[in-house]
Structure 1
Amino acid sequence: MKANSSSIYMQDWLALHPYNRVSETDQYYLDLANSILKIWNKSELSFQVTAEIKSSAACHLTAYFEDVISQLGLWKAFISKHKELYGKYLPFYSLPNNYFEDEVNYEDIAFLLWLNMQLYIGNDKEEFIDPEESSIMALAKEIYDFLDAEYEVAPENNFMNGFFDFKNKEYDKFPAFANDAEWLFFQSYLLAPCNEEPINEIISQVHKYYPKATDKEKNAIIHDAVNRLMFSDPCGPLALSMNEWFSAIAGSQQPFKDSFDKFEFIDRQEFYVIEKSNSHIKIRSAENGREIDVTKESIKNISGLHPWKTVIRVCCAFYNDSWWFFGEYSTRELNDEEDIHPAVPYIKGEKADDPVYNTFMKVSNGESLMFISSYDALKEFFIKGLKWEDNEDNMMPDLKEFHNFVLYANPKGMLIAPGIATYVKDERNSMYDAEDASENALDLFTVQGSCPIDLLRYLVESNRLPDARITTSAKEKEHGQRLLRDNWDFIARLFLESYYRGE
C-alpha cells in the first residue's frame, strides 16, 4: 500500500478482495475508506502511526462495513464463534443491549481499531496496547458515527454477498475450497493482518537458510511454505484452523459444513506408492504406516507414480470424503534396502498416560506442579526423581542458562517452563514475587514459547496467577487484572497462535 497520508487508491482497496476488476460498488467503498482516513488524520491518537498503517487500517474498517452491508458473513462468523467460546460477542468491552450482530456497532469499530494497532504497532514494539485506551475509543466513536450515518444508503457488493454462497460453487471438490481459503488467509480484512507476522518469518527464514538460491528459487520456496501454512497452522484472531473458519462462516444450515468439520491436513511427508486404480492412488505413510486413497483428479501426471517403485513427498488434504494431493511434490525411486520396513499399523485414538507423568506424580506426592530454582537442582530431579540416566541428552542442556523453573505434569507427559516461577502463587513456591508477577506475567499470554498452553491453562484455572494483569491499562491495577482474567484465552489465541493449539 502506498505510504500516502492523504489518499487510498483503488488497487489498495481491491487488494482486500477476491477479484481484480472494479465492481459497481468499489468506488463508493473506496471513497468511504478515504473519508475514514481523513477522520483519522484529524484525530489525536496517542500513537505514532505511519501513513501506510493508517491506510491499511482504514481499508480494513471499510471492508468490515462492506462485510456487514453485503452480508459476506466473515464478521458474523467471528463474533458468533467468540460467543460460542466465551459467552459474549467481543473481548474486552461491555456490550450494550442495543448491540446487533447484523449491524454496525461502535464496539466492533473499537475492537478492529485496537486489533490493527496491536498487530502493526504493539507487536512491533513488543508491548500490549490497552484495548480501552482513550484515544482509540474516541477515534472509534468518530468512525462509528460516520459509518452509522452511511448505513441506510450503503450499497451491497453483490459479488461479496454471494462469495460464501456454497450452493453455487463446486464445493464438492477440494480445489474450490482451497481457492477461497487462499483469499481468506492472504487477503481478507480480518485474517490477513494476523497472518502477516508468520508469513514474514517464513520469508526471513528462507533468505537466511537459502542464501545462494536465486530470487526465483526463493520465491518458489516461500510460495510453497506459506500455502502449506494456510492449512497446517491456526490463523486469525481466534487461532482457528482454516476449515474451522469455513465451518463458522457456513453455519449449521449450509451444505458442506460436514466437509469442513471433517477436513484433515497432512503436512508434507514421504509416502510409498503402493496401488493404482482407474480413480485413485493408494499411498502409505513412511512415517506411521497410514494408508490413504488419493483421487487421481488431484495430480496432473500420474505416469511417474509406480507402485512399489516410487516414493512421493507431498501434502495431503481430506475433504468431502476424498483425499487430495496439495501443493508442490517431489518423487524419488524407492530403495528396497533403505525404504522397505514392515508397515506400522496406524491407530488413531487416545494415547495411554505418559510413563513420565506417573513417575512425576509419585515423586511429587500427587501434585501436578513442582518448583525448582536452578538447573543443578533440575538435573538432580531428573536423575534421582525420574531415574533418568545421567547423560548430556537426558539432562536438557539447553536449559543450563535458565533458573526459576515450573514443572507441570499431566497424562500427556511433563512440561518445563523456565524463568516463570516468580509469577506463580503457590504455598510450595518460595520463588513467588508478587511485584514481578504484576509487571511481567502478561508475557505468559503474549510471548510465544514462554509457557506451554496446558500449563498456562492450569495456572489460570487454579488461580495461581492472581497478579497477572494488562499492565498498560490506565485504570486501577485491579481493573487490569480483571480485564486479563476475563479475556485471557482470547489474548492467548491471538498472540500465541500455533503455540495455543499445539499438542
Structure 2
Amino acid sequence: MKKIYVKEWMLFQPYERQDEIDIYYVKVANNIAECLVGMVGERYPEHSLRGIAIYLTLWFQDVISQIGIWEAFSEECRKRYGQPVPFMTPEEEKEYYPGEVNPEELRFLLWHYFQSLEKLKGGVLNPENPGIAEVAQQLYDYLSEEYEVAPENTRLQEMLYGEPFGANDYQRYRNVLEWFHFCSYTGFENRSEFQQVVATVTRMGNVNPGILEYDVKQNILFEGRKHLLSLTSVDWLALIGKKHPETASWAEIKVTPQGLFLYEGEDEDSLFVKDLSGKEEGQLRIRKDSLNLNSLKNRKEGMTVLGCRLVQYGGTWWQDGTLVISDYEDKMKEEIAQRAAKREDIRQTYDAFIKASGGKQFVFCQSEEEVRDFLFQKMEYKEKEGIQMPKMDAQHGLVLMVSSHTGIHIQMRLCECISSPENKFYDLKEAQKKAILFLLNPEVIPYDLSCALQDAGMLQDAGLNSLQGEEQGRELVKQNARFLTDYFFGKCREKDA
C-alpha cells in the first residue's frame, strides 16, 4: 500500500508547518488505511481508501481535540432525527458515550464514505451491511486504544478559538470558512464537486480560467450543500461556533444569494443599496473596503446596479466574490417584475389547488381527462401561452400534487407505490419493491413533495434490501426516513420544505 505522507495530511490543516502532533495523526491515518485496504481493498480503489483514512483521522482529531464539529453534528441529528447518530438503535444509544470514540459513529462514517463511492456506480448501501459493521468494529478496537494516548491539536484549537472574532475580522472568518468547506471530514465530496464544476463550465465557452475558477469557488463555498446534514459551510460554522464565546458571531452571519442591488447613495464608509429581489427589506449598507470602487467610479443613484453576493458580518454587509456592474434599464426592470410575478403565480396556484381539492395536497386521477378536468374546470387553471401539458401515461395512475415552492407537479412514475385509499392503482408488491425511490431519487419527485407524502403516511411500504428480511428493511427505513431523504436529495426541511 502506498503510504500517506505528512505533506498530504497538511493539505487538510489550516496552518502550514507540521509538528509532532501532525506526525502522530499521520501514523493513525496510515494504520486506518492499512485496515481498510486489507478488508475492502477488492471493492474500492486504494487511492479512495487512503482518502477515507485521512477523513476518518480528521474526525478522530476533532473528537480528541474537542473542536466541536462532531458535537455539532450529533446535536443537530438529535434535534432533527431523534438520535445522536443516524441508524443507531435505542439499545445502542444506551451504550453511547458522547465525546468518546463509539463504534456506531465509525459505522455511520464508513457507510457515508462508502456510499459516496457507490453513488458513482448508482448503488445504495444498506447501513446494516455486516461488512461495514466488521470494518467499524476493527477500527473501533484500534482507535479506542489510541483515544487514551492521542494528543490534542492545540494549534487547531488556538486558530479557531484562541482569539475572539471582532467586527473587522471578516477575512479571518472567510479563511476558516474555506478551510472548513474543503478540508472538513463532513464535506467528503466538496473538493471533487469544485473540480467537476470548473471542468464543466470551462467546456462551455472561452472564459478566463482564473476568473472562472474564482467564481465557481465562491458559489460553492457559500451555497454548496454536499456536507452531512445538507447544510452550507456557513450554516455549519454557525452550529459549531455557538459553543464558544470567541466565535458566537458566526451564528449571526447571513448570506444573500448572487443577486441584483440598486445603488441609492453612500457615506464615507458605506454604499447604500436596495435588494431588487425584495428578499432583504430596507437599505443595506455595504462596506466600501469590501468593494472594488474602481469598477464603481461612474456610479449613479437609482441607476447603477451591482450584481454580487453580500455577506452580513459584524453588523454590516460585505461584498464577496464576482462583482458585475450594469445600468438599471427597462429590460432588467421587466425581468425582475417577471420573477416577482412568477412567485405570486405559484402562491395563487397553490391556493387555488387546495381550494379545488378540498384542502388536499394530492389528487389521484385515473386518466389524462381527469387531470385536465381538475386543472381547467375545478381549479380554473389557465394554461400558459407557449407551454403545453406533458403527454401523460395513465397505465399506473396519475397523481396531481401541489407545492408552495414550485407549484403543480404531475406524478407519472411509480404512482402504484403511493399508499392511499384514493389511489385505485396502488399495488402492495410494487410498493414494497420501489416506494424507496421516492426517498432516495431526486429525479422521481421534488424534495418537499417527498416529505409531504411521507408525512401523510403514503410511503409506508418503502424498504431497503436487508439480509435480515423485508420486514427489517422496511423498519430501518421507517426509523431513518427523514435522514435518508435529506441525505440523498441533498436538502433539509429547515431550508427546502
Looking at structure 2, the residues matched to 496 and 53 of structure 1 have their Cα atoms a distance apart, in angstroms, of 23
* Higher mean C-alpha deviation, range 350-359 or range 81-90: 350-359
Matched, 1:492 2:485: yes
Measured at CA, do residues 340 and 496 of structure 1 come closer, stay the same or move farther in structure 2, by a change above 3 Å? Answer: closer
Matched, 1:199 2:194: yes
Deviation at 1:453, TM superposition (A): 2.5
CA contact (8 A) 2:222 2:233 kept: yes
Q: Which residue of 2 aligns with 1:105?
A: 102
CA contact (8 A) 1:316 1:326 kept: yes
1:368 to 355, 361, 374: 361
CA contact (8 A) 1:423 1:433 kept: yes
Looking at structure 1, the residues matched to 423 and 329 of structure 2 have their Cα atoms a distance apart, in angstroms, of 56
Q: How does 1:383-398 map to 2 (within 5 A)?
A: 383-390=376-383, 393-397=386-390
Deviation at 1:72, TM superposition (A): 1.5
Q: How does 1:236-385 map to 2 (within 5 A)?
A: 236-252=227-243, 254-257=245-248, 259-288=249-278, 290=281, 291-301=283-293, 304=297, 306-308=299-301, 310-332=304-326, 334=327, 354-373=347-366, 377-385=370-378
Q: Which residue of 2 aligns with 1:466?
A: 460
* Higher mean C-alpha deviation, range 439-448 or range 423-432: 439-448
Measured at CA, do residues 196 and 446 of structure 1 come closer, stay the same or move farther in structure 2, by a change above 3 Å? Answer: farther
Matched, 1:147 2:132: no
1:133 to 115, 129, 135: 129
Deviation at 1:352, TM superposition (A): 11
2:204 to 199, 202, 209: 209
Q: Which residue of 2 aligns with 1:36?
A: 32
Measured at CA, do residues 404 and 47 of structure 1 come closer, stay the same or move farther in structure 2, by a change above 3 Å? Answer: farther
Q: Which has the higher helix share?
A: 2
CA contact (8 A) 2:222 2:232 kept: yes
CA contact (8 A) 2:164 2:246 kept: no
CA contact (8 A) 1:270 1:314 kept: yes
- Does the residue aligned with 1:370 lie in a helix, a strand or coil? strand
Deviations 1:283-321 (A, max 9, x none): 223444953111112124356252335332211111232
Q: 1:234 is aligned with what amino acid?
A: R
Measured at CA, do residues 241 and 37 of structure 1 come closer, stay the same or move farther in structure 2, by a change above 3 Å? Answer: closer
Deviation at 1:198, TM superposition (A): 4.3
- Does the residue aligned with 1:20 lie in a helix, a strand or coil? coil
Q: 1:299 is aligned with what amino acid?
A: L
CA contact (8 A) 2:255 2:310 kept: yes
Measured at CA, do residues 340 and 408 of structure 1 come closer, stay the same or move farther in structure 2, by a change above 3 Å? Answer: closer
CA contact (8 A) 2:170 2:313 kept: yes
- Does the residue aligned with 1:113 lie in a helix, a strand or coil? helix
Q: 2:291 is aligned with what amino acid?
A: I
Deviations 1:445-494 (A, max 9, x none): 222242223222222122111110123x2221111111111111111222
Looking at structure 1, the residues matched to 54 and 483 of structure 2 have their Cα atoms a distance apart, in angstroms, of 24
Deviation at 1:185, TM superposition (A): 0.9
* Higher mean C-alpha deviation, range 176-185 or range 450-459: 450-459
Which 5+ residue runs of structure 2 have no aligned equivalent? Answer: none
Matched, 1:118 2:115: yes
- Does the residue aligned with 1:162 lie in a helix, a strand or coil? helix
Aligned residues: 483
Looking at structure 2, the residues matched to 421 and 172 of structure 1 have their Cα atoms a distance apart, in angstroms, of 55
Measured at CA, do residues 384 and 226 of structure 1 come closer, stay the same or move farther in structure 2, by a change above 3 Å? Answer: farther
Matched, 1:60 2:51: no
Matched, 1:451 2:448: no
Across the aligned residues of Structure 1 and Structure 2, the Cα RMSD in angstroms comes to 3.0
CA contact (8 A) 2:225 2:233 kept: yes
Q: 2:131 is aligned with what amino acid?
A: S
Deviation at 1:99, TM superposition (A): 1.8
Q: How does 1:148-163 map to 2 (within 5 A)?
A: 148-163=144-159
Matched, 1:502 2:493: no
Measured at CA, do residues 489 and 164 of structure 1 come closer, stay the same or move farther in structure 2, by a change above 3 Å? Answer: farther
2:86 to 91, 109, 116: 91
Measured at CA, do residues 9 and 470 of structure 1 come closer, stay the same or move farther in structure 2, by a change above 3 Å? Answer: same
Deviation at 1:338, TM superposition (A): 5.3
Deviation at 1:410, TM superposition (A): 5.9
* Higher mean C-alpha deviation, range 24-33 or range 289-298: 289-298
- Does the residue aligned with 2:115 lie in a helix, a strand or coil? helix
Measured at CA, do residues 325 and 411 of structure 1 come closer, stay the same or move farther in structure 2, by a change above 3 Å? Answer: closer
Matched, 1:177 2:178: no
Looking at structure 2, the residues matched to 417 and 205 of structure 1 have their Cα atoms a distance apart, in angstroms, of 31
Q: Which residue of 2 aligns with 1:188?
A: 184
Deviation at 1:26, TM superposition (A): 1.1
Looking at structure 1, the residues matched to 372 and 250 of structure 2 have their Cα atoms a distance apart, in angstroms, of 46
Deviation at 1:98, TM superposition (A): 3.5
- Does the residue aligned with 1:223 lie in a helix, a strand or coil? helix
- TM-score, normalization by structure 1: 0.87
Q: Which residue of 1 aligns with 2:77?
A: 82
Which 5+ residue runs of structure 1 have no aligned equivalent? Answer: none
Looking at structure 1, the residues matched to 226 and 167 of structure 2 have their Cα atoms a distance apart, in angstroms, of 22
Looking at structure 1, the residues matched to 136 and 52 of structure 2 have their Cα atoms a distance apart, in angstroms, of 12
Deviation at 1:162, TM superposition (A): 2.5
Q: 2:260 is aligned with what amino acid?
A: E
Deviation at 1:200, TM superposition (A): 5.0
Looking at structure 2, the residues matched to 502 and 326 of structure 1 have their Cα atoms a distance apart, in angstroms, of 24
Deviation at 1:351, TM superposition (A): 8.8
Q: 2:69 is aligned with what amino acid?
A: L
- TM-score, normalization by structure 2: 0.88
* Higher mean C-alpha deviation, range 267-276 or range 295-304: 295-304
CA contact (8 A) 1:170 1:176 kept: no
Deviations 1:105-159 (A, max 9, x none): 1111111111110012x21111211111111111111111111111111112112
- Does the residue aligned with 2:59 lie in a helix, a strand or coil? helix
Q: 2:82 is aligned with what amino acid?
A: G
CA contact (8 A) 1:230 1:242 kept: yes
Q: 1:119 is aligned with what amino acid?
A: S
- Does the residue aligned with 1:327 lie in a helix, a strand or coil? strand
Looking at structure 1, the residues matched to 333 and 383 of structure 2 have their Cα atoms a distance apart, in angstroms, of 35
Deviation at 1:13, TM superposition (A): 1.3
- Does the residue aligned with 1:307 lie in a helix, a strand or coil? coil
Measured at CA, do residues 336 and 51 of structure 1 come closer, stay the same or move farther in structure 2, by a change above 3 Å? Answer: closer
